[in-house]
Amino acid sequence: MPKAKTYFKSISIARPDIGPLEKKYINEALNSGWISGIGPMVSRFERMFADFIGVRHGVAVANGTAALHLALMALGIGPGDEVIVPAFTFAATVNSVIHCGAKPVLVDASLCDWNMDPEKIKRAISKKTKAIIIVHLYGIPARLKEILEIARQRKIFLIEDAAEAHGALWGKKRTGSVGNIGCFSFFGNKIITTGEGGMCVTNSRNLYEKMKIIYSHGSKSHKLIYYYHPMIGHNFRMTNIQAALGLAQLSRINSFLKIRARHEDLYRRLLKNVPGIKFSPKPGSVTTVDWMHSILVDHPKVARNDVLKGLKEKNIESRPFFYPIHKMPPYTGYISRARDKFPVAEYLARTGINLPSSTCLSAGDISRVAEAVKEIIDGR
């Protein structure tokens, strides 16, 4: 029976959408001989991405983690400093702080947007706090108004980890354009991809110039002076080949965002009356993007892991939410005060599932996933 056959076709969690334009640009890059971290497509990608975000400068880097590391270094953050980060995020947010020799201070999420709670940020600030890294998790912009106010009042830097929020809006501003530096990732499962890749964006000429030195071995060429290193830097550069892929992807981003929004609507419609299923928050003051299609399974008889397992049996890939940072061995030492609790991060991590999200998915694929979730829950 053909129906049974299509049922078992596997649906992957986040297939990248690579078309003829990507292949054309990559071939152009290869044919040009510019294949490393310098080249015309890198500069074009930096310009075009900065324009898309609505900022003056972009620095294309090797990956999103390097973008965070570079941002922290450019802001002069190092040993003795504290940086406020979410307890509910991808580990790279926290790792970048540790790689700089600074101390991450974890803050719990809030239920209304799954992002750091501004009140809890206030309580976590100490004399050593130099920066806050807010994460616009799963495409939901954080409460920038309150957080920006806190950063200004306390004179601390604001870094936006917008690795999951390309194109999201806070009022009329894109996420990533509001803080001192915005950091993006172009990993294969992100809204646009360069394979591996990332970008730092900023309106500050000074920070931009610092980042340009740090990200290329700490070197600065001038006229006939080469190999002069005014500081110890890294090699964080993005290659021209990656930038070629990025340029093609960026030219398609508006269509990607529309398709993702349509998929989110479809998931919501199909799962609306399924008991125990909750959707990601869509705060009225912001425009979210649908990086993943995130649901919570909060049901008296069905555990989240039952749904993960059930989907796997039906050949559908899904992912649990991020594991809470404070519950993993390398990070337990960073919980400074024993009274610190992270109940919201723990609740989200326990109940959350990301359903397949890709612009390559058809409406039929989405229906099949929703139908599968419904069957698993109804079967209990």
Ligand X SMILES: *Cc1c(COP(=O)(O)O)cnc(C)c1O
Residues near ligand X (CB under 6 A): 63-65, 89-90, 92-93, 135, 161, 163-164, 185, 187, 198
Rounded to a whole number of angstroms, the minimum distance from the CB of residue 64 to ligand X is 2
**Cα angle value 290/374/164 (rounded, 5°):** 15
- The span from the CA of 96 to the CA of 50, in Å, is 22
Among 237, 224, 239, CA closest to 194: 239
Rounded to a whole number of angstroms, the minimum distance from the CB of residue 263 to ligand X is 19
Would you say 252 and 36 are in contact if contact means Cβ atoms under 8 Å apart?
Answer: no
Among 377, 356, 380, 372, CA closest to 297: 377
Strand, coil or helix: what is 72? helix
Residue closer to ligand X by CB (options 39, 64) is: 64
Residue 58, Ramachandran bin (φ over 0: left; ψ between -120 and 50: alpha; else beta): beta
Rounded to a whole number of angstroms, the minimum distance from the CB of residue 209 to ligand X is 24
Cα 212 from chain centroid (whole Å): 22
- The span from the CA of 220 to the CA of 227, in Å, is 7
Residue closer to ligand X by CB (options 82, 161) is: 161
Residue closer to ligand X by CB (options 63, 239) is: 63
Rounded to a whole number of angstroms, the minimum distance from the CB of residue 357 to ligand X is 13
The secondary element (H helix, E strand) that includes residue 235 is none
The secondary element (H helix, E strand) that includes residue 101 is none
Rounded to a whole number of angstroms, the minimum distance from the CB of residue 296 to ligand X is 19
- The span from the CA of 331 to the CA of 328, in Å, is 6
The sign of the torsion formed by the CA atoms of 55, 284, 282, 252 equals negative
Residue closer to ligand X by CB (options 93, 358) is: 93
Residue closer to ligand X by CB (options 99, 278) is: 99
Rounded to a whole number of angstroms, the minimum distance from the CB of residue 113 to ligand X is 14
Contacts of 376 (CB under 8 A, 6+ apart): 302, 306, 307, 310, 311
Residue closer to ligand X by CB (options 157, 266) is: 157
Rounded to a whole number of angstroms, the minimum distance from the CB of residue 102 to ligand X is 17
Residue closer to ligand X by CB (options 239, 277) is: 239
Rounded to a whole number of angstroms, the minimum distance from the CB of residue 92 to ligand X is 4
Name the closest residue to ligand X (Cβ): 64
Residue closer to ligand X by CB (options 180, 185) is: 185
